[in-house]
Amino acid sequence: MIKNNYTSVIGLEIHIQLSTKSKAYSADENIYGANPNTKISPISLAYPGTLPSVNTKLIEYALKLGISLECDINKKNIFSRKNYFYADLPKGYQITQDKNPICKGGHLLIDLEDGSKKKINLTRIHMEEDAGKSIHDIDPYNSLIDLNRAGVPLLEIVTEPEIRSSFEAQSFVNEIRKIVRYLDICNGNMEEGSLRCDANVSVMKENDKDFGTKVEIKNMNSTRNIKKAIDFEIDRQIELIEQGKFIVQETRNFNALTNATNSMRTKERADDYRYFTEPDLQPLILDEKYIQSIANDLPLLPNELERKFKKEFDLSSYDIKLLIEDKGISDYFQKICKIIKNYKLVANFVNGPIKSFLNTNSVPIDKLPIDRKKIIALLSFVDNKKISISSAQQIIFPKLLNSDLEVIEIIEKNNLFFENDSIDLEEIISKVLEKYTQKVIEYNEGKIGLIGLFMGEIMKITKGKIDPKKINTELKKELEKRKK
């Protein structure tokens, strides 16, 4: 983004906490929200004499992501130690990858504001482990440590500094989150810290060749905050430069209450992590066959699905975007479409009442309390013009949510079937038009919007038992007659 002739340069570091059953280098359970210090063992506590063993799921998940993002896969993986002292880092070092990450390069297409796409190149993806948590705000005198998270597997994605605005950064994180959920390797929950993002931000004059001094921003725990933090930081940096001041290379913390970034620590003296090859783990050699087997098992990703949906279902870009936001939803949609061929009807129903229920209750599609077979039954009644879509949405769907009744039972109990034969539609239309003679004249003089009034009246009388399309056709015929 160019602001007062400044260009912003942004690179992201995204930590993805993997949803493996056990930790990266021990058999401890990897689960969020357990009682403090219950998911631990001599290994994760770094007891004397313990050694790490690699969880093969860590490799599998890294490959899933790396292949999806079209990275170069490194076949000889060497683990390294990153040494530093901290109370919640039991070994005094983190097992990570230094010079030979499992994935190099790769890229991701993100959506821009104008609907076009932009390719962001990745530097690398590497495997590492999480530290525990230090809790400073419970006990007034002591810090408390919870080591449940110590050793939980992480992938770190590092982008090239090719992101140019807060919108692009937000879009990148949204896209990554969607992909890791599609791959089912991370729940993508930023509030719980399952997906964490740090941003390196600098600004430069439009025609400058060299990047400005970068500042690292941490603690942005939602995509909205990523946007806010970067916007704040860009403005702050431009203002400093305009005032003739220098940017200090530092790490800044984002405060969601003030929407501002504050200095955490300056980087005058770079940390020396004394990286060296982890001698407790042998190099991990990946063979081509294994890599290929992971590649063959990958699900279609959002970008591929978008193309597929356009081709197979002929839906609008807007509908497709909504459907592919979540893998559960897109799978669900496709399953229903195998039976109901009215794709637009299915898309509207999924993006409409179903999604609105899921959003209101913050539950995933597999927690929808209605059997998929019932939804299919319901939509086929609509598709076969036996009931109206409004009955389906407003009467039947809520009843399905709150009872065990079958679709047919609800329709019959509430008398919702179209009764095209037993009702004299012609007579009802005539009655209504007689009631509004003045309006009929106005309609025939060109106020065609009045048709809604007539429709509404007729629908009220027919109680949704006649297909609105049929009413519409008959009504227009009748109005045409009265023109003469």
Partner 1 sequence: MLPRKLIKTKIRAELKNKKSFLQVRDDLQSQKTTVRSITANYIKSIHDNKDLNIFIEVFENEAINRANEIDEKIKSKTQGKLAGMIIAIKDNLCYENHLVTASSKILKGFKSNYSATAIERLLKEDAIIIGRVNCDEFAMGSTNKNSVYGPPLNPLNKKMVTGGSSGGSAAAVAANLCMVSLGSDTGGSVRQPASFCGVFGFKPTYSRVSRYGLISYASSFDQIGVLSNSLFDNALVLEVISGHDHNDNTSSKKRVEPYSNFEKKPNYKIAFLKETLDLKALDSSIKKSTLDLIESLKSSGHQVETCSFPFLEYLVPTYYVLTTAEASSNLARYDGIRYGHRSSEAENLNDTFVKSRTEGFGQEVKRRIMLGTFVLSSEYQEAYYTKAQKIRSLIQKETNKIFENFDFIITPSTPRTAFEIDSETDDPTDLYIEDIFTVHANLSGNPAISVPLGKCKKNLPFGIQIQAKNFDEKKIFNFVNQFLTHNI
Nearer Cβ to partner 1, position 51 or 257? 51
Compute CA distances 124 → 66, 103, 106, 293, whole Å: 9, 5, 8, 22
Query: Across 246-290, where does the E strand assignment appear?
Result: 250-255, 260-266, 276-277, 284-285
| 48 binding partner 1? (CB under 8 A) | yes
Smallest distance, partner 1 to C-beta of residue 194, A: 25
Choose one: 52-60, 101-109, 213-221, 323-331; the region binding partner 1 (CB under 8 A).
52-60
Nearer Cβ to partner 1, position 95 or 471? 95
Nearer Cβ to partner 1, position 91 or 214? 91
Q: Specify whether the CB–CB gap between 460 and 469 falls below 8 A.
A: no
Smallest distance, partner 1 to C-beta of residue 18, A: 19
| 280 binding partner 1? (CB under 8 A) | yes
Choose one: 41-49, 226-234, 335-343, 438-446; the region binding partner 1 (CB under 8 A).
41-49
| 81 binding partner 1? (CB under 8 A) | yes
| 93 binding partner 1? (CB under 8 A) | yes
Smallest distance, partner 1 to C-beta of residue 136, A: 10
| 50 binding partner 1? (CB under 8 A) | yes
Q: What angle do CA 237, 241, 247 make, to 5 degrees?
A: 55
Compute CA distances 120 → 61, 408, 426, whole Å: 21, 51, 62
Nearer Cβ to partner 1, position 54 or 339? 54
Smallest distance, partner 1 to C-beta of residue 41, A: 9
Residue 449: exposed, middle, or buried by beta-carbon count in 10 A (0-12, 13-18, 19+)? exposed
| 100 binding partner 1? (CB under 8 A) | no
Residues 114-143 that bind partner 1 (CB under 8 A): 143
Compute CA distances 360 → 346, 368, 484, whole Å: 20, 12, 52
Compute CA distances 253 → 9, 11, 38, 222, 239, whole Å: 18, 16, 30, 14, 19
Smallest distance, partner 1 to C-beta of residue 91, A: 5
Q: Which of 323, 17, 23, 11 is nearest to 190 (CA)?
A: 17
| 92 binding partner 1? (CB under 8 A) | yes
Residue 53 tokens, joined: 């063993």
| 53 binding partner 1? (CB under 8 A) | yes
Smallest distance, partner 1 to C-beta of residue 80, A: 11
Smallest distance, partner 1 to C-beta of residue 271, A: 10
| 272 binding partner 1? (CB under 8 A) | yes
Choose one: 158-166, 275-283, 340-348, 459-467; the region binding partner 1 (CB under 8 A).
275-283
| 317 binding partner 1? (CB under 8 A) | no
Cα 347 to its chain centre, rounded Å, is 19
Q: Which of 82, 288, 327 is nearest to 182 (CA)?
A: 327
Cα 243 to its chain centre, rounded Å, is 40
| 144 binding partner 1? (CB under 8 A) | no
Smallest distance, partner 1 to C-beta of residue 275, A: 8
| 180 binding partner 1? (CB under 8 A) | no
- Which of 145, 229, 378, 471 is close enough to bind partner 1 by CB under 8 A? 145
Q: Which of 362, 352, 19, 404 is nearest to 182 (CA)?
A: 19
Q: Specify whether the CB–CB gap between 157 and 177 falls below 8 A.
A: no
Q: Specify whether the CB–CB gap between 264 and 237 falls below 8 A.
A: no
Q: Which of 195, 240, 200 is nearest to 218 (CA)?
A: 200
Other residues' Cβ atoms within 10 Å of the Cβ of residue 139 = 9
- Which of 56, 70, 87, 477 is close enough to bind partner 1 by CB under 8 A? 87
Partnered with residue 126 across adjacent β-strands are 156
| 49 binding partner 1? (CB under 8 A) | yes
Nearer Cβ to partner 1, position 100 or 348? 100
Smallest distance, partner 1 to C-beta of residue 400, A: 51
| 52 binding partner 1? (CB under 8 A) | yes
Q: Which residues bind partner 1 (CB under 8 A)?
A: 42, 45-54, 81, 83, 85, 87, 90-93, 143, 145, 272, 274, 276, 279-282
